[in-house]
Each structure stands twice: as C-alpha cells, then as structure tokens.
Chains A and B, each alone.
Chain A
Amino acid sequence: MNVNDSIVVVLAASAIFYGTPLVFAAVGELLAERSGVLNLGVEGMMLIGAVTAFWSVQNLSGADWFVLLLATGIGGLAALAVSLIHAVLAVGLRANQIVSGLALTIFAGATGLSSYVGNVARLGGQPAKHEFTALNVFGLQDVPVAGPILFHQNALVYASWVLVVLALVYLYRTRTGLHLRAVGESPETADVMGVNVARYRYAHTLVGGFLAGVGGAYFSLAITPNWIDGMTSGAGWIAIALVIFAFWRPELTLVGAYLFGLFSSLGFVLQARQVHLPPEVFASLPYVMTVVVLVVVSTGWAKQRLGAPAALGTPYVREER
C-alpha cells in the first residue's frame, strides 16, 4: 500500500485542511484580545463571512482564482462590518464586552443575519460555482508523506501560514506591534507614551472581524462548498478557546488548530475505514476535547493565565485613570 494512503498521512493532511479556518479566526481574535478587546462574536462573524463569500462565488463571474480571491475578501469585509458594532459598543460606549460579543453572535449567527441573507438570496441547496481545491505545489504532491500533507492543500492553507508569520513579525518585531501589546497590557502606560488606545482597539477588533470572515469563507468555499444555516457549528467558539490554549501567541494557534482539525476529521477518516461508532461520538470529539484541553491549560503551570493581556475585557476610560 502506498504510504500516502496510510491513516497517519491522511489524518495529518486532513487535520491541516479542517484546522485552517480555526487558524484564521483564532489569529484574528488573538490580535483583538492583544489590544484588550474580548470579542465573543466570532461565531456570528464567521457565518457572515461564510454566507457573503458564498453569495459572491454564485454571483460574480471571472477566472476561478479571481472570483475566489474576491469572494474571500468580500466575506472578510462583511464580517469586518459587523465587528464594527462590537467595536463601537466595547470601545466607544464601554459596554460589557461579554454580553456585547454574545449579542453579536445572536445578531449575526445561525438564527440571525447570516440565515436571513442566505434565505433572502436563496443560497441553500446550490452547489458552489467556484471552490478552493487542493493545489499541486511545485509538483510535489506525490512525494511520500510530505506530499499530501504539505504540498497538496488549497491556497487558503498556505495563506494561513503566511498570516501566522506576519502576525509574529508584527507583534514582536514592529513598533506598532509593541504599542499593541502595551495597549493590551497597560492602556494607561500606552496612553502616556502617546499611543491612541481607542484607535488601536478599534483597528484590531476590525482586523479580527476580517480574519473571522475569511475563516468563515473557508467553510462555504473549501470544506463544504455550499450554504447551510449555522454551517460553522461552533468553530467560532473553538477559535476563542484556541486563543487561550495558545497563550495568546500566534505560532501556537497552529498547533491547537491542527489538533482540533484532527478531532474534526477523525470521524470521517475512521468511518471511511469501516470503524463503526455512533456518529455523535465523533461529532462531539472537538467539543469535548476543547473542554479537556482548556482544563489542562488552566491548571498547574499555566494557572496564572500565562500570557493573557492584563487589560483584557476592561474598557479604558482616561478620566478614571
């Protein structure tokens, strides 16, 4: 048997495939949280991204790559637009960030705006006219082991790797990145340094929204190229949990995301190999494992909430400094 058909290689390749939307959403949430804004609206923003991106591939025409690029961008921008609501409430109006983020998920999520848009545009039940397919990078897709895992993925997978590198450079190697960390750790200090706290918080909440939208677009353009109400089924919440596992460090979101990609794909892969268990057991794996991993990282050596920005979730009011 070809080594590339072995269960280990198939699982590794599909872990990356299913984990990629989590990378986008988690890096986005991480940037927002680094500025001190907790946004629990990721699930809603992802669904907005998914529905608008799917609408775009159905209604735009052009070369495959061009339409897909445009659709992903539109998905990101639509999610950015709804994240503005949270930014205004959390940064501008100092509202409770937890409730505001929940409100965003209710507003935009599976029973809200994304479902409304999908219904009005009658997107349900259509096959996608364009979808992301795996590329054969440098013609290396048949190389043993590394081929299917590293060189036979879709374009967004490679984009997510670039994103993680960019986020790392940005956070730790640029002046704005330094200011961002200051805003999240100690807005008072940042303010004294002459950093505009509100502007940083707005900007990073919006960037977080954009990336959540791209992650959502991945669901409707790559994983299951169609539109179903609530199709992200909790990925947004897992992305929020991933930021905690990753100790707010971009490179670790990759590890977490692929771990959860693995749990998401385990069911499909094992069923294809005649392992029979109730489907609900496989389906509940990502959720149960999220709880388990969260418990592990929140105890013992990580008990001090290692890496959480000190000002996370608290509004900054200059007059009350």
Chain B
Amino acid sequence: MIRIQRRQTTPRWLLVAVPALSLVAAFAAAALVLLVAGKDPIATYQRIFDRAFFAPGALTSTLVTATPLLLTGLAAAAAFRMRLWNIGGEGQLYLGAIGASGVGIALQHQPAPILIGGMIAGGLVAGAAWAIIPGLLRAYLNTNEIITTLMLNYVAGLLLLYLIFDSQSYWRDLSTFTARQFPQGKVLADAATWPAFDLQVAIVPFGFVLGILAAIALWLVYRSTVFGFQVRVLGDSRAAARYAGIKSRRVIVAMMALSGALAGLGGASEIGDFRHVLDPRGLQQAGLGYAGIVVAALARYNPLAVPVVAVLIGGLANAGYSLQGPDFPAGLVGVLQGTILFFALGGELLVRYRITFGSSRALVAPART
C-alpha cells in the first residue's frame, strides 16, 4: 500500500533534484510521443540541443531568445510567489515594447545613454501601467486577476496591430510611399541599439544582463525588505497577513506594478536588443509571456533559478525556430514545454509529501515500553 504524508521539513537537495528529475522524465515522455509519431527521439534531441547550445553561434541566439523569457519569467515568479496570478506577462511585454519604442523614437537625436535609459524607463513604466489596471481591480473590487490579465493580453495584441496597421500613429513609418502601402513601424536610430557583451563563448545581450540584475534585486527584496516580507506572508497565508496587519491591497497593487514593469522591460529589450522597430507580428508570434509562466513554475518561483531555466527554455524555443520545417513542425516546442511543466508539477508532490510503500501499520509510532 502507498501512503502519502505531508512533510514537516523539506530536505534542500530535493528542491534541486526534483525539478532536474522532472526534466529528464519530461524528455523521456516526449520521446515516447516522438516514437509514436514515427520520429527518432535521440536524433531529434541531438538536433535540438545542438541548435540550442553547441552549434557555432547557437548559444548567442539562445541568449537572445532567453532574454525576454528571463524577464517575463521573473514577472510571473514575483507575482505567483504571493499567489497573485498575473498571466498578463504577454500583454505587459507588448506595452513595454510600445513604451520603449515610443521613447526611442522621441529621443532619437539624444546621446545613447539618455536614449537607452529612456527606452528602459519607457518599457518599465508602460508595462507597470498596463498591469496596474488588473491590480487595482483585484485589490479594490476583488475581480479575478487571472481572467482580467488574460483578457488584457488580447487587447494589448490588438493595440499593437492598431498602432501599425490601422492608424497613422506615432509608431508607424509614413515617410515613404512603400511604407504607406505596406505598413511597418519606424525603425529606431542606431544609437538606440542596446550594447552587447562578447564573452567569446557567446554574445550576451544588454537585456539579459539587466535581467540577471533584476533577478538578484528581486531575491534581495524578498530576503531583506519589509515589502518582501509582506509578499512572502501574503503568499503563505492570507489569514496570517491579515492578523499581522499587512495592508494587502497596497501590496497587491505594488506587486502587479512590479511584475508588469519586469515584463515591460522584456518588451523594451525586444526592441532595444533585437528588433529595433515595433513589429506586431514578430512580437506576438513567440508567446513570450506565456513561456515566462513555464519558466517561473519550473524555477519554483525562485528568482535566482529563473535565469538558468530561462536559458534552458530559451534554448528549446530557439532550436524550435531554427529547425522549424516539414520534419520539425511548429507546436513541438509548446508540447515539450507543457510536458516539462506537467512533470515539474507532478514532481512537486515529492517535494511536499513523503511517499512510503509498505503496510500502513508500519507508520504507526511504536508504543513506548
């Protein structure tokens, strides 16, 4: 007979071992799917890992893909840690891209530090502003944030399309006849391109560095600030937070703003590091906000684990793009991501509960004699 008991304490090694094992199990399960589909799983995995990490230039493009995932991952991890279900990272990232490119166009004749600083600020503020809407609704009107953040993703996506395809907006390039016929965004000045750091093995985008700094900052906020303490209490027990006199409404709004700002920074980095133009189709194609949720959950909402997981998931996504074709159809990457997440969730059981095999009697404490 199998018995399941809640653990009183969780050994440290389990917190690393279980996600790692979940990952292995997920790849094994997905291998079965590939076998059923008549594909050689080992060859497929070899190609995926080669394109993700080992081929020349692969790590560099993986880091480009991982950068927005790192930031949307942090956004989700921060909010989910206090059981605030912000699944609006996708829309907040779009707004961040709109904000950053808007500032980038406005300040295009300024020196690079001002221009880039302005783009970062634009991304942070726009993302936070978009997230504050559901935050206020959640805090003051008790409106389910899962639904509102999600609905706003679709609205933000339509806003992107509107700005470039169906209006004469500030973001749209109307300078030439072709640009008027085939709508596209204004391309930013060269000075608006964010710096990158060549580390020989790979080129690290500026956004990735910002993401690492944000992860460390978030960890410090949890560890040693009043706000971080309040977030942790709210995450563990709403009742305890109430007894402790924590003003949960303010914390909810502040956390949504923080979470949205992080996702918005992801959007700013998409513009500054990568696209240099507000490109609705490109931004919407990748599902960067949703993948951030996978990253956060796999990192068990631990900010310091988010960068590692982001590189891994980013590698998968990157391999997915570059291998996409008749024998590597779109959708396979989502299947893999989902499978990994399922196994990580199932593995949680091992972290939170002790599972013992044997007769139930063996668990009864021996009588003292």
- Contact (Cβ within 8 A) A319 B143: no
User: Which among B85, B150, B348 has the highest number of chain A CB atoms within 10 Å?
Assistant: B150
User: B331: which of A100, A117, A278 is its contact (CB, 8 Å)?
Assistant: A117
User: Which among B154, B161, B162, B333 has the highest number of chain A CB atoms within 10 Å?
Assistant: B154
With an 8 A cutoff between CB atoms, is A108 at the interface?
yes
- Contact (Cβ within 8 A) B341 A284: no
Question: In the assembly, what is the distance between CA of A281 and CA of B167, in Å?
Answer: 12
Size of interface on A: residues with Cβ below 8 Å to B: 57
With an 8 A cutoff between CB atoms, is A233 at the interface?
yes
Min CB distance A30 to B, Å, is 15
Collect the chain A residues with CB atoms within 8 Å of residue B150's CB.
Answer: 234, 237
A89-B346, A119-B330 given; A98·B85 CB < 8 A: yes
A85-B342, A102-B87, A294-B147 given; A278·B166 CB < 8 A: yes
- Contact (Cβ within 8 A) A89 B147: no
Question: In the assembly, what is the distance between CA of A281 and CA of B163, in Å?
Answer: 12
With an 8 A cutoff between CB atoms, is A107 at the interface?
yes
Collect the chain B residues with CB atoms within 8 Å of residue A281's CB.
Answer: 162
Q: Which residues of B from 119 to 168 have beta carbons under 8 Å from A?
A: 137, 141-144, 146-148, 150-152, 154-155, 158-159, 161-162, 166-167
With an 8 A cutoff between CB atoms, is B293 at the interface?
yes
User: A278: which of B152, B162, B291, B341 is its contact (CB, 8 Å)?
Assistant: B162
A119-B331, A237-B150 given; A106·B141 CB < 8 A: no
- Contact (Cβ within 8 A) A109 B166: no
Collect the chain A residues with CB atoms within 8 Å of residue B42's CB.
Answer: none
With an 8 A cutoff between CB atoms, is B21 at the interface?
no
Q: Which residues of B from 66 to 123 have beta carbons under 8 Å from A?
A: 80, 85, 87
Binary per-residue interface labels of chain B (267-309) against chain A in the complex, 1 for a CB within 8 Å, 0 otherwise: 0000000000000000000010011011001000000000000
Q: Which residues of A from 218 to 251 have beta carbons under 8 Å from B?
A: 229, 233-234, 237-238, 240-241, 244
With an 8 A cutoff between CB atoms, is A140 at the interface?
no
- Contact (Cβ within 8 A) B142 A299: yes
- Contact (Cβ within 8 A) A233 B154: yes
Min CB distance B297 to A, Å, is 5
Q: Which residues of B from 312 to 369 have beta carbons under 8 Å from A?
A: 329-335, 337-339, 341-342, 345-346, 348-349, 352-353
Q: Which residues of A from 115 to 142 have beta carbons under 8 Å from B?
A: 115-120
Q: Which residues of A from 123 to 174 have beta carbons under 8 Å from B?
A: none
- Contact (Cβ within 8 A) B338 A108: yes
Collect the chain B residues with CB atoms within 8 Å of residue A234's CB.
Answer: 150-151, 154
- Contact (Cβ within 8 A) A107 B166: no
10 A-B pairs with CB atoms under 8 Å apart are A103-B338, A105-B290, A106-B338, A241-B144, A278-B167, A280-B161, A284-B158, A287-B152, A287-B158, A295-B141
With an 8 A cutoff between CB atoms, is B200 at the interface?
no
Collect the chain A residues with CB atoms within 8 Å of residue B348's CB.
Answer: 93, 95-96
- Contact (Cβ within 8 A) A112 B345: no
Binary per-residue interface labels of chain A (269-293) against chain B in the complex, 1 for a CB within 8 Å, 0 otherwise: 0000000001111011001101100
- Contact (Cβ within 8 A) A113 B143: no
A89-B346, A96-B348, A294-B144 given; A115·B154 CB < 8 A: no
User: B335: which of A100, A116, A283, A294 is its contact (CB, 8 Å)?
Assistant: A116
Collect the chain B residues with CB atoms within 8 Å of residue A238's CB.
Answer: 151
User: Which among B142, B297, B342 has the highest number of chain A CB atoms within 10 Å?
Assistant: B342
Question: In the assembly, what is the distance between CA of A237 and CA of B338, in Å?
Answer: 18
> Which chain A residue lies CB-closest to B329?
A119
Question: In the assembly, what is the distance between CA of A294 and CA of B146, in Å?
Answer: 11
With an 8 A cutoff between CB atoms, is B37 at the interface?
yes
Collect the chain B residues with CB atoms within 8 Å of residue A98's CB.
Answer: 85, 146
Question: In the assembly, what is the distance between CA of A106 and CA of B337, in Å?
Answer: 7
Question: In the assembly, what is the distance between CA of A95 and CA of B161, in Å?
Answer: 37
A280-B159, A288-B151 given; A120·B345 CB < 8 A: no
Collect the chain A residues with CB atoms within 8 Å of residue B287's CB.
Answer: 110-111
With an 8 A cutoff between CB atoms, is B250 at the interface?
no
Min CB distance A42 to B, Å, is 11
Min CB distance B165 to A, Å, is 8
Collect the chain A residues with CB atoms within 8 Å of residue B297's CB.
Answer: 99, 102-103
- Contact (Cβ within 8 A) B142 A298: yes
> Which chain A residue lies CB-closest to B341?
A103
A102-B87, A237-B150 given; A95·B349 CB < 8 A: yes
User: A120: which of B37, B148, B293 is its contact (CB, 8 Å)?
Assistant: B37
With an 8 A cutoff between CB atoms, is A114 at the interface?
yes
Collect the chain B residues with CB atoms within 8 Å of residue A280's CB.
Answer: 158-159, 161-162, 166
> Which chain A residue lies CB-closest to B340?
A103
- Contact (Cβ within 8 A) B154 A116: no
With an 8 A cutoff between CB atoms, is B9 at the interface?
no
Min CB distance A296 to B, Å, is 9
- Contact (Cβ within 8 A) A115 B146: no
- Contact (Cβ within 8 A) A244 B338: no
Question: In the assembly, what is the distance between CA of A132 and CA of B264, in Å?
Answer: 43
- Contact (Cβ within 8 A) B151 A287: yes
With an 8 A cutoff between CB atoms, is B5 at the interface?
yes
A100-B345, A283-B158 given; A319·B5 CB < 8 A: yes
Min CB distance A238 to B, Å, is 8
Collect the chain A residues with CB atoms within 8 Å of residue B143's CB.
Answer: 291, 294-295, 298-299
A112-B334, A294-B144 given; A102·B293 CB < 8 A: yes
Question: In the assembly, what is the distance between CA of A48 and CA of B25, in Å?
Answer: 24
Question: In the assembly, what is the distance between CA of A298 and CA of B154, in Å?
Answer: 21
- Contact (Cβ within 8 A) B337 A107: yes
Binary per-residue interface labels of chain A (71-112) against chain B in the complex, 1 for a CB within 8 Å, 0 otherwise: 000000000000001001100011110111011111111111
* Given A115-B330, A229-B330, 15 other A-B residues pairs in contact with their CB atoms under 8 A: A85-B342, A89-B345, A93-B348, A93-B349, A94-B352, A102-B87, A103-B338, A106-B337, A107-B335, A114-B331, A284-B155, A290-B151, A291-B148, A299-B141, A305-B142
